[in-house]
A and B are shown apart, each in its own frame.
Chain A
């Protein structure tokens, strides 16, 4: 029997995680495009009444679905893409309808803003953005170096998150995580930029040291940055979760086609969200089908 110090058992249900979120919050979503997205937690939000969210993401179908469902008040983004399907169709629809506010930034500025938030700084200076339309469109201010060079730089504001959602390969009950795959993107900085970070994982164990001590170097961020954990196998579907499974391009294609015909999210939400996560997974062939999805080739 495992005994943990009270408060260190961070297990929650997906519904409890979403219930801890509030209308109007700023939510960071980890992963990158159609890769390593906490889609099961996003689907749980889509099943809830949560609204008026500011979403901060290297966007894929997470952003598209939340836009389509009218959950997004504002989006902070550098791109929204499904890789092999370059243009995210539901995000496009929302943008072309003028439905959402945006702060558009460069990919590097984005992670710089997360780092500013992580370190409790109001901003971090950068050259990136100078000479483009980003500063004027986003209301970004400049600062001048106080040293002899006097250089003028963009002050990338901290992207402070009320909560971050991540999907990782493994966690224990206390939030000791392990992330595998070729690239873990900026999950570490989402976790550190957020007041609360909720982590879904492919595999949950009671004590990491009893199960996978040899993989300790895969703990990309520390458990003090984790507020809640939940095991959701296949929780990144239809995005990829190396090394466990690749993206489901067939599902993403169907999702893309649905933006044209019927073009109405309410008519297809059941298909792409499901009444429950079990229903959803079953409709895409269950765990076996997801496990068989090949890792994408670039």
Chain B
């Protein structure tokens, strides 16, 4: 069991976010979220709907990395040209993404850091679909490096995705679709189950203490640790390996550490 990587442990933990979601589009952006969604579909949640990352629906998740263009098995079609009509604005989706910043309200930022909107210090991607995703369907997050630069003190530099911040909510708006589920990091699993949706640590990866997590988080966390994050089973590892034949997951977390943190 000692050769199980922390990335693999995170994939298994993240796959739990997609359990009991029903027939929704499971979108994992980046290797760990994507493998998590694929693993969920191939194990506990076959009802999940998934794309090939481009425009076709597949019942067999496509593996990561180089492959033949036509070797996906198309079960349906869900192009961007229909994505808001079908998946996002109907709430029939759960996305797991990696923003650049997140704050205590679950507000996320993918757009810019520092400076002003007219002249940002660092321009990133732009808000992309985060404003729509966060007001319409469930979202979870994965962060390969849990630091105070990601889990910021105060609020994110630019609120690209809706969180649970009452001060940001224009009165009279319908926020019933805001549904932030899980945060998986290289240290722990968290949710938004505290008072007023405060962020709670619900499981710690092997060898990690709550104080370790708090020390690299820019806001106060609720300690709701129920135990250690589960290690992957042999069956789960086999599926992860099939979905990631080029071992791209080894490049996600710095130095690809083992799942059992060295004492």
The verdict on A151 contacting B128 (CB below 8 Å), with A92-B123, A102-B117 known, is: no
Chain B's interface: helix, strand, loop or mixed, by majority?
loop
Question: Which of A124-132, A224-232, A251-259 contacts its partner?
Answer: A124-132
The verdict on A106 contacting B175 (CB below 8 Å), with A32-B80, A183-B55 known, is: no
Asked if A137 is an interface residue, CB under 8 A from chain B, the answer is yes
Q: Which residues of B contact A102 (CB under 8 A)?
A: 117-118
Asked if A98 is an interface residue, CB under 8 A from chain B, the answer is yes
Query: How far in angstroms is the closest Cβ of chain B from A282?
Result: 27
The verdict on A130 contacting B128 (CB below 8 Å), with A108-B84, A183-B80, A294-B69 known, is: no
Q: Which residues of A contact B125 (CB under 8 A)?
A: 79-81, 86-87
Asked if A219 is an interface residue, CB under 8 A from chain B, the answer is no
Q: Which residues of B contact A112 (CB under 8 A)?
A: 84
Report the interface size class on chain A: 35 or more
Query: How far in angstroms is the closest Cβ of chain B from A143?
Result: 10
What number of residue pairs across chains A and B have CB atoms under 8 A from each other?
Answer: 149
Select which of A97, A98, A105, A131 is within 8 A of B173 by beta carbon.
Answer: A131
Asked if B132 is an interface residue, CB under 8 A from chain A, the answer is yes
Determine if A131 and B172 form an interchain contact, defined as CB atoms under 8 angstroms apart. Answer: no
Q: Mark A82-114, 1 if CB is under 8 A from B, else 0.
A: 000011000110011110011011111101100
Tally of contact residues, B, Cβ under 8 A: 55
Determine if A184 and B169 form an interchain contact, defined as CB atoms under 8 angstroms apart. Answer: no
Q: Which residues of A contact B134 (CB under 8 A)?
A: 131-132
The verdict on A133 contacting B123 (CB below 8 Å), with A106-B131, A111-B84, A152-B170 known, is: no
Determine if B127 and A297 form an interchain contact, defined as CB atoms under 8 angstroms apart. Answer: no
Q: Which residues of A contact B117 (CB under 8 A)?
A: 102, 104, 133, 137
Taken together as a complex, chains A and B put the C-alpha atoms of A295 and B56 apart, in Å, by 15
Find the A residue at minimum CB distance from B164. A131
Asked if A298 is an interface residue, CB under 8 A from chain B, the answer is yes
Asked if A212 is an interface residue, CB under 8 A from chain B, the answer is no
Q: Mark B86-97, 1 if CB is under 8 A from A, else 0.
A: 001100000000
Determine if B132 and A151 form an interchain contact, defined as CB atoms under 8 angstroms apart. Answer: no
